Chain A
Amino acid sequence: MKFNDLFGGLVFLALSGLVAIASWNLPNPSQQPLGPSAFPLILSGLLALCAAILAINGARTTQAGPWIGLADWARSGSALARLLLVPAAVIFYMLFAETLGFLICAPLILIVLFLAGGARPLHAIGLSLAAALVIHSIFYLALGVQLPWGPLEPFRW
């Protein structure tokens, strides 16, 4: 996602406003002259200043054009789809790791990503299983991290 500097500046300006509002009324139980709201307020002021300069520079230099453009790569649907696979894979793991268990969930993610990268199906399956096992061993056997087992619980080693 590419946005022009005018748009970016306005987004950061809005962010600084939100920060200022959120920090304005923070409680100050110890009654210090500078409570918990002082520092975030200073930061939001500086951010507003930088964002305003960015927006003004952006407005001066960019001619009329889309505020949010797509980068060159995003015009190709396949590149965009491959990009979206990354967050999709992480979210899939967050949702299903507990129920499916690591040793099912992780190879599934890897197979999809390998196939998206153009690997041959058999290669993808073999590699996924091997890689998942190696990573599992590093964290479970060597570091003692409890990765979820899911339905494979009876086979826990």
Chain B
Amino acid sequence: MLDAYVTALGMVLDPYVLFVITASAVYGLVVGCIPGLSATMATALLVPLTFFMPPVPAIAAIVTTSTMAIFSGDIPGCLLRIPGTPASAAYVDDSYQMTLKGKPELALGIGLWFSVLGGLFGTAVMMVASPAIADFALGFGSVEFFWIVMLGLGGAVFIGSSTPLKACISLLIGLLIAMIGMNNPAGQPRFTFESTEMLGGVSLIPMMVGMFACSEVMRHMVSGGSAPHAVVQKIGPIFANMWRLTKQYPWQLIRGSALGTIIGIQPGSGADMAAWMSYAMSKRFSKEPEKFGTGHPEGLIEAGASNNSSLAGAWIPALVFGIPGDSITAIAIGVLMMKNMAPGPTIFVNNPENVYAVFLVFVIANLMMLPLGWAIIKVATRVLSVPRRVLMPIILLFAIVGSYAINNSLFDVGVMLAFGVLAFVLEENDFPVAPVILGVVLGPLLEEYFINSMIKSDGRLIGLVDRPIAAVLAAITIGIIGWTVIASLRGGKPSKQPAQG
């Protein structure tokens, strides 16, 4: 294992990889900072570029961009009361109140410092836990994997969503889209409408770019809106009080990081839900809950650490089982598959250095966040004044060229547009978009595991549950679905925070 880590370190410290990490870091910080451009969109727009990179820098770019964007979403929340990404929404009141009290540097410092600590905590858990889980999962057959995928999808639809029925429909649409083409156990062309371009299935990159960038441009065109003005111009020393706060609230830091990691691991809920739940938990256990929402640091610390630790947590099921925890990891899994690094327990045996390289990128990205985050805070008021009506057309052009670039195909540009329109219409009608992408990424795997399991058991459904681990996974999955169905039949939907992105 140590050998593999040394190899991985060599891979990550390559000048080209370090350049990619630095560039993605700056890009992620800037995009996350601009309200209306989400971390998911930042990641999706980057995917066409990663297509042209070797595996390690490609993954490094995705990891770094998402980590940075989740932190810098705190900046407009603090200065403008507009969260830059959904993950910052939970504590936007507290941080904005600090700004109004003339202490923006305190709110931003907490966001930065505790994001880094939370991110490092999540990374440490990931480094210890995922090889162990992978080791355990090596004995899994197609039945167990079938249920793990089911659990991932079930979690995404029934836990991570405020409208389970609509999320379920979104997921089924995604799964059906995954059926297009010849990539199925029988090798038969399905739903291709006699078109040769569709034989290979819907290409993932134009689809992701369309769903997360093109639809975002369309939404902006409708809402319009100009760049809001920040109330502060001057930001004081950022790290001044951080050590004192760390000593004052150590328990909040650990609790937020731990809860965030767990929520990240749990499929279907990501950074935004981690922040909401940690903020609520912090308030619940606080000695002074009445101060929450008035510029009190406690909730900021706990939730700020939580959303960054969840990011690393989400990579555990992504790397070990190939199950995305949220749309960003779904994009990342798409990139891994594209690079012939299909995630799964065997990747820890066959290419451990690649996995360890991912771990090290997380560590580097979080450490790099301190100086670069400091820099972006210093120039934040300028970044915030970049008008979105200038950025959106450029993003659209980038989306067009990015989709085209993969296969030099104008058909892919059409795919991008089609999925942009689909995502826009779905979101207009409160259908969440994340389950669609999960369905498309996991659909081929789910079918393969299902068909293989059925063939092994001669077509009897009992074959899906007659192994102990499979039975346990099946029981959990059915329990989650059953609980949600019963709760919604009883009238009130189970209370949830809005999950998106």
Chain B residues in the interface with A (C-beta under 8 A): 49, 52, 165-166, 168-169, 172-173, 175-176, 179, 184-186, 188, 190-191, 214, 217-218, 221-224, 389-390, 392-394, 396-398, 400-401, 404-405, 408, 410, 413-414, 416-417, 420-421, 425, 428-429, 447, 450-451, 454-455, 458-459
| Interface residues in A41-92 (C-beta closer than 8 Å to B) | 43-44, 46-47, 50-51, 53-54, 57, 71, 73-74, 79, 82-83, 85-87, 89-91
**A9 vs chain B, min Cβ distance (A):** 9
Q: A114-B389, A117-B390 are in contact. Are A50 and B179 (CB under 8 A)?
A: no
Q: Please, how many angstroms separate the alpha-carbon atoms of A91 and B414 in the complex?
A: 8
Q: List 20 A-B contacts (CB under 8 A).
A: A8-B429, A26-B188, A32-B451, A43-B176, A50-B165, A53-B165, A73-B222, A79-B221, A85-B221, A89-B396, A90-B400, A90-B413, A102-B401, A109-B396, A109-B397, A110-B397, A117-B224, A117-B389, A118-B389, A119-B390
Q: Are A12 and B169 in contact (CB under 8 A)?
A: yes
Q: Please, how many angstroms separate the alpha-carbon atoms of A131 and B393 in the complex?
A: 10
Q: Are B169 and A54 in contact (CB under 8 A)?
A: yes
Chain A residues in the interface with B (C-beta under 8 A): 1-3, 8, 12, 19, 22-23, 26-30, 32-36, 38-40, 43-44, 46-47, 50-51, 53-54, 57, 71, 73-74, 79, 82-83, 85-87, 89-91, 93-94, 97-98, 102, 106, 109-110, 113-114, 116-119, 127, 131-132, 135, 138-139, 143-147
Q: Are A33 and B454 in contact (CB under 8 A)?
A: yes
Which 10 interchain pairs have the tightest Cβ spacing? A117-B389, A113-B393, A36-B186, A33-B459, A36-B188, A82-B221, A145-B405, A90-B417, A47-B172, A39-B447
Partner of B218, one of A40, A43, A83: A83
Q: Please, how many angstroms separate the alpha-carbon atoms of A73 and B428 in the complex?
A: 11
Q: Please, how many angstroms separate the alpha-carbon atoms of A90 and B411 in the complex?
A: 11
Partner of B166, one of A54, A116, A118, A131: A54
Interface centre among A22, A43, A119 (most CB of B within 10 A): A43
Q: Are B400 and A114 in contact (CB under 8 A)?
A: no
Classify the interface of chain A: helix, strand, loop or mixed: helix
Q: A22-B191, A33-B459, A47-B169 are in contact. Are A73 and B186 (CB under 8 A)?
A: no
Q: Are B397 and A36 in contact (CB under 8 A)?
A: no
**B407 vs chain A, min Cβ distance (A):** 10
Chain B residue nearest to A145 in the complex (CB)? B405
Partner of A50, one of B169, B190, B223, B393: B169
Chain A residue nearest to B451 in the complex (CB)? A34
Q: Which residues of B contact A114 (CB under 8 A)?
A: 389-390, 393
Q: Are B217 and A71 in contact (CB under 8 A)?
A: no
Q: Are A117 and B455 in contact (CB under 8 A)?
A: no
Q: Please, how many angstroms separate the alpha-carbon atoms of A144 and B49 in the complex?
A: 11
Partner of B190, one of A23, A32, A87, A144: A23
Q: Please, how many angstroms separate the alpha-carbon atoms of A101 and B398 in the complex?
A: 16
Q: Are A43 and B455 in contact (CB under 8 A)?
A: no
Partner of A117, one of B172, B184, B392: B392
Q: Please, how many angstroms separate the alpha-carbon atoms of A116 and B221 in the complex?
A: 9
Q: Are B410 and A94 in contact (CB under 8 A)?
A: yes
Q: Which residues of A contact B217 (CB under 8 A)?
A: 86
**A24 vs chain B, min Cβ distance (A):** 12
Partner of A113, one of B176, B188, B396: B396
**B454 vs chain A, min Cβ distance (A):** 5
Chain A residue nearest to B447 in the complex (CB)? A39
Q: Which residues of A contact B404 (CB under 8 A)?
A: 97, 145, 147
Q: Are B169 and A90 in contact (CB under 8 A)?
A: no
Partner of A35, one of B186, B222, B224: B186
Q: Which residues of A contact B408 (CB under 8 A)?
A: 145-146
**B153 vs chain A, min Cβ distance (A):** 11
Q: A51-B169, A79-B221 are in contact. Are A36 and B393 (CB under 8 A)?
A: no
Partner of A110, one of B173, B393, B454, B458: B393
